[in-house]
Amino acid sequence: MTTSSHRAATGRDVVTDSGIEIKPVYRRDDAPLGAAPDPGEYPYTRGIHPAMYRKRRWTMRQYAGFSSAEESNQRYRLLLARGAKGLSVAFDLPTQLGMDSDDLRAFGEVGRVGVAISTLDDMRTLFQGIDQSAITTSMTINAPASLLLLMYQIVAEEHGSDPAKLGGTIQNDILKEYAARGTYIFPPRPSMRLVTDTFAYCAEHLPSWNTISVSGYHMREAGASAAQEIAFTLANAIAYADAAVDAGLMVDEFLPRMSFFFAAHSNLFEEAAKFRAARRLWATIVKERFGATNPKAMMLRFHTQTGGVTLTAQQPLNNVVRVAYQALSAVLGGTQSLHTNGFDEALAIPTEEAATLALRTQQILAEETGVAATADPLAGSYFVEALTDALEAQARSWIDRIDEQGGAVAAIEHGFVQNAIAENAYRRELARSSGEEVVVGVNAYVEEGEVDVPLQKIDQQAVDRQIARVRAYKGAQDRAAVDAALVRVGETARGTDNLLPVMKEALVAGATLGQIANRLRDVFGEYRPA
């Protein structure tokens, strides 16, 4: 199968990674347009707002976190000073797995791929000097998402912020962890309970917070096609919505606080069409399957990150160009917020210079190219409209197959989703290995030698200080208060009451992330894939 990145000059068929054959020329008959609804009108194919970026730019939200809360805080303040409009927090693997920095299982991973947050003091340091009420914050955290959100809320309240006005997003999408990423703690069913408990808690205490960001990004990075990315993401969203309805929540109330997270890879037009198709398909599902009447419940609001897996260690400066075009596809597709990767991310965490250039890429796109001047500038293109229809049709077919499995949770438990992703990833790797799919600088236009670029180094002394701080924090705990709070967490986990209020009490009493997660492990167990 020839991919769309294969040189068109060969005269061979060109097929996207979703298996859609691209014609040499598109004409009116390929995409009967009719009277497509305007942007801001159901089914929102052309965007969720009438004027889109003419009225408000997308949020430029740069993802960052490394070593320690102090160093990450410095990077956040730098990005805000240079024009970022929101923060996106990357957590290290121990934090993502509900482990404290001093846990023996965390050795060698503390602060490596994100910031280490084990205690309330860590969260206080992370946002020192930053007005949480004046920004929106996205936190890429899943299994312990509710705990990190509670820490964020507590620190904001200490600074005098009204929690009802706090804006931001927790990823909180545990299903894709089983399907593609692997940072799960508990089995799927109790994990789904934590998700819906978070929905209910936020509806009462944090009504402006996006309680979940259903993520196709990680499934795409693992090898899913563009059509699979749409389908598997929306199938997971259906599962969360079903679980919330079963928990007594109303779709018109919780769905407006559900957001999405997609990848932007390098096939410019397929990616732009993917976002349009996802928006239309979700609006249809919410209206027809769930009977929603609130227009905001039907609007697919999404964050986009450029494709980390597309970045190359060879000729890393080429990644500047890749990131710019991928960002363009996200804007042409109507994203609500965007992260642009640093060109050096195939080699290390981005340096300050690389992170700044990534932000400047968004600013140039917004201010100099004219793409923000009109809503859905690709609308009416025979090619893009045909691609939009084809991607929607393929995504519907995949969702039907998942429904036949019994829904997303069952499909993941059966390995259906994982196998589909793995098969597509294998096919793509064969295409790249054979040269059928061209990757500039890797299997074509290769140069001898390596480009020397400065790399960000993890400060081991900062990591050591973090571990020492966590040990000192535990040494200063009021053990009686902490133990009593943890007992209440365990009792609540065995029952049916919402877990977040008692977990918040435990944090205020001085319990750590790992101590609370371990108490939940005692009740729920740990997930081990078959």
264 CB-near residues (< 8 Å, 6+ apart): 271, 304, 305, 306, 307, 326, 327, 329, 330, 333
- Which SS3 state, helix, strand or coil, does residue 63 take? strand
pLDDT surpasses 70 at 4: no
Q: Which token pair is 167?
A: 């804006």
Cα–Cα separations (whole angstroms), residue 459 to 52, 97, 112, 343, 344: 42, 22, 9, 21, 18
CA–CA dist 263, 335 (Å, integer): 11
CA–CA dist 31, 384 (Å, integer): 9
Average pLDDT over every residue of 253-279: 97
DSSP classification of residue 23: P
**Amino acid 1: pLDDT:** 42
3-state SS of 426-470 is HHHHHHHHHCCCCCECCCECCCCCCCCCCCCCCCHHHHHHHHHHH
Cα–Cα separations (whole angstroms), residue 74 to 4, 204, 275, 286, 522: 41, 33, 34, 41, 37
pTM over 0.75: yes
Average pLDDT over every residue of 456-482: 95
pLDDT surpasses 90 at 31: no
Helices 500-509 + 188-205 axis angle, to 10? 80
Strands 86-90 and 302-306: unpaired
**Amino acid 62: pLDDT:** 84
Cα–Cα separations (whole angstroms), residue 28 to 33, 34, 380: 8, 11, 10
pLDDT surpasses 90 at 296: yes
Its CATH class, for the domain covering 53-393, is: alpha beta
133 CB-near residues (< 8 Å, 6+ apart): 156, 159, 161, 162, 165, 166
Place of tokens 């769930």: 290
Average pLDDT over every residue of 11-34: 85
Average pLDDT over every residue of 472-501: 98
281 CB-near residues (< 8 Å, 6+ apart): 230, 234, 392, 395, 396
pLDDT in tens, 91-122: 999 999 999 999 999 999 999 999 999 999 99
* N-term to C-term CA, the chain: 32
Q: Is the peptide bond before 144 cis (omega within 30 degrees of 0)?
A: no
pLDDT surpasses 60 at 217: yes
Contact between 352 and 343 under an 8 Å Cβ cutoff? The reply is: no
Using the CB atoms, write b or e for 380-413: b if 16+ within 10 Å.
ebbbbbbbbbbbbebbbebbeebeebebbbebbb
pLDDT in tens, 371-420: 999 999 999 999 999 999 999 999 999 999 999 999 999 999 999 999 99
Contact between 230 and 388 under an 8 Å Cβ cutoff? The reply is: no
Cα–Cα separations (whole angstroms), residue 398 to 225, 380, 482: 11, 26, 47
Average pLDDT over every residue of 198-221: 96
Q: How many CA atoms lie within 13 A of 169 on its CB side?
A: 26
Q: How confident is the model at residue 6 (pLDDT cuts 50, 70, 90)?
A: very low
Closest CA to 75 of 23, 28, 128: 128
Place of tokens 């108490």: 519
Q: How confident is the model at residue 35 (pLDDT cuts 50, 70, 90)?
A: low
pLDDT in tens, 501-517: 999 999 999 999 999 99
pLDDT in tens, 325-380: 999 999 999 999 999 999 999 999 899 999 999 999 999 999 999 999 999 999 99
Which amino acid is residue 88, in one-letter code?
S
**Amino acid 383: pLDDT:** 96
Q: How confident is the model at residue 34 (pLDDT cuts 50, 70, 90)?
A: low
pLDDT in tens, 275-287: 999 999 999 999 9
Q: How confident is the model at residue 85 (pLDDT cuts 50, 70, 90)?
A: confident
CA–CA dist 102, 107 (Å, integer): 8
Phi, psi values for residue 86, rounded to 5° = -160, 160
Average pLDDT over every residue of 219-247: 97
Domain ranges of the chain: 53-393
CA–CA dist 262, 229 (Å, integer): 8
Q: Which token pair is 501?
A: 């209020």
Q: What's the whole-number average pLDDT of the chain? A: 94
Helices 145-158 + 188-205 axis angle, to 10? 20
- Which SS3 state, helix, strand or coil, does residue 137 take? strand
Strands (E), 65-159: 86-90, 136-140
Q: How confident is the model at residue 456 (pLDDT cuts 50, 70, 90)?
A: confident
User: Taking the mean position of all CA atoms in its chain, how far away is CA 360?
Assistant: 21
Q: What angle do CA 356, 359, 360 make, to 5 degrees?
A: 85
CA–CA dist 411, 238 (Å, integer): 13
